[in-house]
Each structure stands twice: as C-alpha cells, then as structure tokens.
Amino acid sequence: EGTPATAGLVEKDLKYVWHSMASYSSVSQPMIVTGGEGSWIVDSEGNRYLDAMSGLWCVNVGYGRKELADAAYEQMMNLAYYPLTQSHLPGIRLAEKLNEWLEGEYVIFFSNSGSEANEVAFKIARQYQQQIGQSGRFKFISRYRAYHGNSMGALSATGQAQRKYKYEPLSAGFLHVAPPDSYRRPAGQTVEQFNLLCAQAIEDTIVWEGVESVAGVIMEPVITGGGIIVPDRAYLDKVQEICNKHGVLLIIDEVICGFGRSGRKFGHQNFGMKPDIVTMAKGLTSGYLPLSATAVRKEIYDSFKDVSDEYGHLRHVNTFGGNPTSCALALRNLEVMERESLVDRARVLGERLEEGMRALSEHPLVGDIRGFGFLLGVELVADKETKEPASLDTVKTIIGQCKARGLIIGKNGDTVAGFNNVLTFSPPLSSTDEDLDFILSTFCEVMKLHL
C-alpha cells in the first residue's frame, strides 16, 4: 500500500502506465524508482537496492554520473538536434571512436534501439548481397533462445516462440538452429563434440536451404537473454569459417555483450572473430539516452557507394538516430570507461564473481554456473542428476528473497519449454569491491535458506 504519498503514485501508475512484460497482477505493486548512485537504486519508499541487472543490462558506468548529464547539457545548449542526413561533430567523433573500440575498419549507421540496429543490419545485408549479384540471398539464420529485438524483423530473428505467436505472420526467411547449450547436451557427447555439432547445424541449414538463398547469420557471442549460453571458442571459429566459406554475412549482436560486459571492449573480441556487421545499443550510452549503432565492414559500405542508380543507397532514415545529444553523451560515456579502465575492471570483477559463486556449486539447487566477463548465470535445478529445471516458484522465491535483502537479480532461460531457471547477474562495471561482496554475501545467504 505504501506511504500516503506513494499510494497515490501506485494508483496512477496502474491507471496510466502500460508496463512491458508484466501481467497486471504482477505489477500490482510496481517499484517506483526515484534515484540511483553507483550500482544502487532507491525506490519511492526510501529502500536501497544493489541493481545487479544494471537496469536492463544498460547502466555499465553506474547511476548518477553528473559528467554524462553535463555532456548532454552542453551539447543541447549548442545544438540539441540535427539529423544525420547531413552531419555534426558528435556523430563524426563517435563513429571514429567506435572504430577504435571495434579494432577494425567499420562505417557506422546510427539508430535508436537495439532492435532497430538489427533491422538496419538485415536491410544492409540483403541489399549488399543484391549489389554483389547475389540477389537470391534473403534468408537469415539465428539460434533458438536468442533475443534480437521487438520489431517485426528483429522479432523474426528472435528464437523465443512465446514472444512471437500472437503477432504472426512475421517476416519470411528467418530460420533457427539449436544453441550450444552444453549443460543440456545429449548424454555421451563431450562439450567439444556438442559445440561442433551445433556449429555444423548452421552449415547444414545453409546448404539445405540453398547456399544462394542465405544472406546472413546473426548471433550474440554469448546468448544472454536466453539463459547465458557460453559457447566454446571452437564453435565460434567454426561459425566464422562457415560464413566465410559460403558468402554468408556474419552479424554479431553486441547489444548486451558490447561495451566491456565481456571483459573485452566487444564480446566477439574474446574469440578473435571478424564480423561483417556489429550491432550495439544499451551500453553505448550506459542507458542514459537512447542510441544504437550498426557498424558495417568498410568493403560492404563501399559496395553502396558504387551504385549509380539514384535510389541505390540504403533506404533507411530515422529522425533521432545519431542525434548530437545522444552522440555527445555516448562519447563521454566511453571516455569515462577508458579513464576508469572499466573494461579491465569487468574482467577482474567477473572472475571474482564467478569464483565466489563456485562456493555454491555443491548446493542442491545449483545445476550450472556460467560466466562471461562480468555476466553470470546460475542455472537452478530441482535435481542435479536429471537436470530437471527448478520450478518457477522456487526461482521467484529466491529472486524475492534477494530483493527483500536489497539485491536485484534477473532470470532467464528456455521460456518456450517453460524454464525460466537461470538467475542472471550483470551489475554495473563500475561496481566497487564492497558492491561485489554485497552481491555474493546476500545471494549466498538466500541460497542457505534453500538447503
């Protein structure tokens, strides 16, 4: 019910705000967040929580960074808005900076969300294939359980059926293969064998569909929203090799893995991959303003320059993509990350988090612990032998008990099969040692209640 002041707010919230991903019963008491500092947020009741999900995997530099607000303010006072149909300084500087971070030669197309960055990637991939005389190539392959966005194309690429079935028909030409979920591999296979078979399924799909019909493969380096599925390096090496061999563009979705989360600037750099297209959002501005980007290998961009027909250029325009204010803020965000070495910090924090979690490996509910940089999944099971997933009730109880002790964590998994049993930790990269200790001690304390 809350205090008299917040009781009114909750009523208004329920009357006017449509919350994503929430059934009305579960938002009957929404948390109204009023502030944040570092890794911590405060609600309207004055409760403090360590936000081990960084909002929605966004706030990599932490909350309350005045200098990010200053960067936006300064830019707004000078030139708040101009479209990138022409150009402006923050756009140029950010595109240059992203090239440095990508360690390759890329041309950047800016948009507003991760979904749109992926839509742009699909359009560019299809148009590029046409321009090089491969006009039959329109299909895309992605993995089941991966999330790539909410718009019709990005949703088509998403491998989570329950998000889609009410909105069909979606875009034609999007195919899915099984993810390398080695924890649940068939008995008798080694992790290595299983990973290679999963990669081989991509090549088989390309060949069976007809090589001349496939435009691209889209994947995250590590599946995040579908349950923290960390592949072998050999899996990604093989994916790269398959794409190269068949003239299929490799699109890497770095919306979550990018900007230090993985312990490298971008997730794919951990595996030495050379993607044709890289999409990014969230951590680009640490969530302080909307901005996303589709980075495209220069040779692909060059094929667009050579088209003589007036309408041959990329037919995609947006009003706000790459607006000067978001770009200026993103630049400041990257400056902060460099100055505070947050990419390296992510690696150190991630190692300590995983090491700390290993103390729980013998816990009867803990089936698997999977880390990638400062991102960690703890897969809960009802039975360690059979790997039967823990019930949603158990998962929700644990999340609730963490929240009651001031710790916010997430859950993901194979939601089609009804399993939402992978507890997810993705705290700000700027977290202090004390923050990390708090996460570990709170979570361990809660897990002790379930022995």
Closer of 249 and 436 to ligand PMP (Cβ): 249
Under rule CB under 6 A, residue 148 binds ligand PMP: yes
Which range touches ligand PMP (CB under 6 A), out of 147-155, 232-240, 370-378, 397-405? 147-155
3-state DSSP assignment of residue 437? helix
Under rule CB under 6 A, residue 368 binds ligand PMP: no
Closer of 125 and 196 to ligand PMP (Cβ): 125
Which range touches ligand PMP (CB under 6 A), out of 12-20, 70-78, 102-110, 251-259? 251-259
Among 225, 283, 350, 428, binds ligand PMP (CB under 6 A): 225
Under rule CB under 6 A, residue 115 binds ligand PMP: yes
C-alpha distances out from residue 31 to 15, 47, 60, 252, 446, Å: 15, 10, 21, 34, 21
Among 113, 156, 240, 333, binds ligand PMP (CB under 6 A): 113
Which range touches ligand PMP (CB under 6 A), out of 110-118, 169-177, 206-214, 382-390? 110-118
The residues, ordered by sequence, that sit 6+ positions from 167 with a Cβ below 8 Å of its Cβ are 152, 155
The residues, ordered by sequence, that sit 6+ positions from 12 with a Cβ below 8 Å of its Cβ are none
C-alpha distances out from residue 94 to 112, 284, 288, Å: 15, 10, 16
Closest separation in Å from C-beta 113 to ligand PMP: 3
Among 36, 38, 91, 149, binds ligand PMP (CB under 6 A): 149
Residue 62 in contact with residue 38, Cβ under 8 Å? Answer: yes
Under rule CB under 6 A, residue 377 binds ligand PMP: no
The token duo for 9 is: 């707010």
Under rule CB under 6 A, residue 255 binds ligand PMP: yes
Output 13-19 pairs: Cβ under 8 A, ≥24 positions apart: none
Q: For residue 451, what are the β-bridge partners? A: none
CB-based burial label for 356 (10 Å; 0-12, 13-18, 19+): middle
Q: Where are the alpha helices (DSSP H) in 340-377?
A: 342-357
Residue 66 CA to residue 318 CA, distance in Å, equals 29
Using CB under 6 A as the binding criterion, the count of chain residues that bind ligand PMP stands at: 15
Which range touches ligand PMP (CB under 6 A), out of 17-25, 199-207, 220-228, 374-382? 220-228
Closer of 53 and 381 to ligand PMP (Cβ): 53
The token duo for 282 is: 């969230």
Closer of 261 and 442 to ligand PMP (Cβ): 261
Binding site for ligand PMP (CB under 6 A): 113-115, 118, 147-150, 220, 224-225, 253, 255-256, 281
